[in-house]
């Protein structure tokens, strides 16, 4: 049985007020909404450097600023354990395997239901140079996704517990459910509006990423899981296309 200190979740188990929790979730959502809008309005072949600055880097800076303004805490509050600790490495491996298995099972079930899945927008017309650039830019893009998802989870968990007086467990699961739904929704552009893929595959996969954060209390655990999984997938698809 883990003691109370080990069970504490960053910012959820703190004196963060419901209003500040809501502001955190809203701030992350507004910034992510701006990212999606800029991505949608950008030309088919944008200048990669300009696109990265405005759609990736500036939003990341704003996410970190929003965390500080709304909670009075800096980025370190989301890193409360050592990445390389034995328990965190175990958490990483277990949740990564579960995450990978789930995505394959969910994709198979979607196909069995007679529904189609779309490839991620990043793999369209993939070249070696674009793949290598993607390795770099996704380190920022996926951190934005992680911060958004964690902000939503923390924010609504706090609101449900402190404003609506739900139990701690119910609040955590409520925040997790909302983050799952919104995580699926923000992949509208990436998967060409495929609702089945967004809400039966991508969204529910968030369970394992946020679960890894809850377990480790370190946002770098789900971030590296997410990053490695995506880059392995993109690389395999690229190699298959080249060899074929």
Tens of pLDDT, residues 45-94: 778 899 999 999 999 999 999 999 999 999 999 999 999 999 999 999 99
Q: Which residues contact 166 (CB under 8 A, 6 or more apart)?
A: 160, 174
Stretch 115-126: mean pLDDT: 82
Which range of residues forms the domain containing residue 216? 4-243
Helix, strand, coil percentages for the chain (3-state, nearest 5)? 75, 0, 25
Whether residue 6 is predicted with pLDDT greater than 80 in this model: the reply is no
Stretch 170-182: mean pLDDT: 98
CA dihedral (7, 8, 10, 16) in degrees, to 10, reads 150
Q: In the structure encoding, which two tokens stand for residue 42, read together?
A: 């950008």
Whether residue 2 is predicted with pLDDT greater than 70 in this model: the reply is no
Give the pLDDT band of residue 244 (cuts 50, 70, 90).
confident
Number of domains in the chain: 1
Stretch 21-28: mean pLDDT: 98
Give the pLDDT band of residue 3 (cuts 50, 70, 90).
low
Decide: 188 and 198 in contact? Cβ < 8 Å.
Answer: yes
Question: Rounded to whole angstroms, how far apart are CA atoms 15 and 13?
Answer: 7
Could you tell me what percent of the chain has a pLDDT over 70? Answer: 97
Give the pLDDT band of residue 125 (cuts 50, 70, 90).
confident
CA distances from 16 to 71, 211, 223, 237 (A): 7, 21, 24, 44
pTM exceeding the 0.75 threshold for the entire prediction: yes
Question: Rounded to whole angstroms, how far apart are CA atoms 228 and 59?
Answer: 22
For 148, counting Cβ atoms within 10 Å of its Cβ (0-12 exposed, 13-18 middle, 19+ buried), the class is buried
């Amino acid at each position: 049985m883990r003691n109370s200190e080990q069970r504490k979740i960053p910012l959820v188990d703190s004196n963060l007020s419901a209003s500040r929790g809501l502001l955190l979730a809203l701030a992350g959502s507004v910034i992510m909404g701006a990212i999606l809008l800029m991505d949608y309005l950008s030309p088919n072949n944008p200048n990669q450097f300009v696109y990265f600055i405005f759609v990736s880097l500036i939003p990341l800076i704003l996410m970190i600023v929003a965390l500080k303004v709304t909670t009075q805490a800096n980025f370190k509050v989301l890193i409360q354990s050592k990445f390389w600790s034995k328990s965190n490495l175990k958490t990483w491996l277990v949740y990564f395997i579960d995450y990978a298995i789930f995505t394959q099972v969910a994709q198979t079930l979607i196909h069995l239901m007679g529904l189609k899945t779309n490839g991620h927008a990043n793999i369209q017309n993939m070249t070696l140079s674009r793949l290598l650039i993607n390795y770099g830019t996704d380190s920022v893009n996926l951190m934005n996704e992680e911060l958004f998802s964690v902000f939503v989870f923390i924010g609504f968990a706090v609101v449900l517990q402190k404003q609506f007086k739900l139990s701690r467990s119910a609040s955590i699961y409520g925040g997790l459910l909302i983050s799952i739904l919104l995580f699926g929704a923000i992949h509208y552009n990436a998967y060409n509006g495929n609702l089945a893929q967004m809400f039966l595959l991508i969204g529910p996969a968030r369970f394992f990423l946020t679960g890894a954060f809850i377990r480790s209390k370190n946002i770098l655990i789900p971030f590296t899981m997410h990053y490695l999984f995506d880059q392995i997938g993109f690389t395999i698809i690229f190699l298959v296309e080249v060899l074929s």
